[in-house]
Amino acid sequence: MKSKQTKNMNLENGVARGQSAATCCMDGVPVKHYLSMGFGVNSVALYFLLMDQGVEFEAIYVDHGADSPETAKYVKLFCDKYPVTILKPDAGTREGVRFDNLYDYCHFKKIIPSVKHRWCTDRFKVRVVHKYVDKPCWMHIGIDAGEAKRAKISTTKGIEHRWVLIENGIDREGCKKLIADHGLPVPRKSGCWFCPYQTDAQLRILRREHPDLICKLRTLEKRVSEKIGRPFGIKEKPIDAVLMEKQGNLWPDMDYPPCECGL
């Protein structure tokens, strides 16, 4: 819980250095380039592509404290080597309490991110970025050539989207190669550990690797259920129901049952 937005910068102003600035104007006026990073494969690859193309840009990451432990670890690994501006959310409540952590906010409000109302992205990511950037600006978005249909033209409040991976025909495999060529491991899919968009299989992996987080998720479901007066589950069924299903796949080696010949 925090009352002020903070900004931590890694290296000089969070701007990738040692590059010559590519000329890219809006209505003839040079504008700043930003790269919005979630620290999944695409945004990391896009970082390296922009760097290799000599674009001077500022990479931004919103740390809302609820990304998966694997993503948090990768952010640290990356930011130790490359400049990234780290922003913190500052979400207020009617009760006058402010939060920079998405889980703490949910716990306090007795709510949970939902596939029906995607308020979490807006409150804890988009608004934070929009508040921070100088406008007008270019905002680079990590959508690769294999998922070009997801790219949407946006001119929201002077923020123009750019999709350089698509412009250069770089697909998912190309992204992985770019990252490997720069000597870093390929990151896992990024996202919050209690994201309702996760598959049941991903939640079972979470149970295996981070049982403590499953306890926190259970607590959240309990609080929401108490608030609304009926059972509530992150996946339209409680987390325990998700975990009880297909228990045979709980451990990786269970995909290959042991020989039962008795020898």
Footprint on this chain of ligand SF4 (rule: CB under 6 A) = 113, 118, 120-121, 124, 191-192, 195, 197
- Whether the Cβ atoms of residue 89 and residue 64 lie closer than 8 Å to each other: yes
Pairing of strands 32-36, 57-62: parallel
Task: Copy the structure tokens of residue 21.
Answer: 């600035």
Which is nearer to ligand SF4, 123 or 237 (by Cβ)?
123
Give residues with Cβ within 8 angstroms of 80, minimum separation 6.
10
Q: Is 155 helix (H, G, I), strand (E, B) or coil?
A: coil
Which is nearer to ligand SF4, 81 or 118 (by Cβ)?
118
The sign of the dihedral angle between the CA atoms of 161, 163, 164, 168 is negative
Which is nearer to ligand SF4, 142 or 191 (by Cβ)?
191
At its nearest, how many Å lie between ligand SF4 and the CB of residue 90? 16
At its nearest, how many Å lie between ligand SF4 and the CB of residue 108? 16
At its nearest, how many Å lie between ligand SF4 and the CB of residue 197? 5
At its nearest, how many Å lie between ligand SF4 and the CB of residue 113? 4
Which is nearer to ligand SF4, 83 or 113 (by Cβ)?
113
Q: Is 242 helix (H, G, I), strand (E, B) or coil?
A: helix
Which is nearer to ligand SF4, 34 or 193 (by Cβ)?
193
> Crossing angle, helix 211-228 and helix 102-109, to 10 degrees?
30
At its nearest, how many Å lie between ligand SF4 and the CB of residue 120? 3
Which is nearer to ligand SF4, 177 or 207 (by Cβ)?
207
> 157: how many CB neighbours lie within 10 A of its CB?
11
At its nearest, how many Å lie between ligand SF4 and the CB of residue 93? 18
To the nearest 10°, report the CA torsion of 103, 106, 112, 115: -70
- Whether the Cβ atoms of residue 57 and residue 15 lie closer than 8 Å to each other: yes
From CA 192, how far away is CA 215, in angstroms rounded?
15
Which is nearer to ligand SF4, 16 or 232 (by Cβ)?
232
At its nearest, how many Å lie between ligand SF4 and the CB of residue 17? 30
Determine the longest span between alpha carbons in the chain, in angstroms. Answer: 78
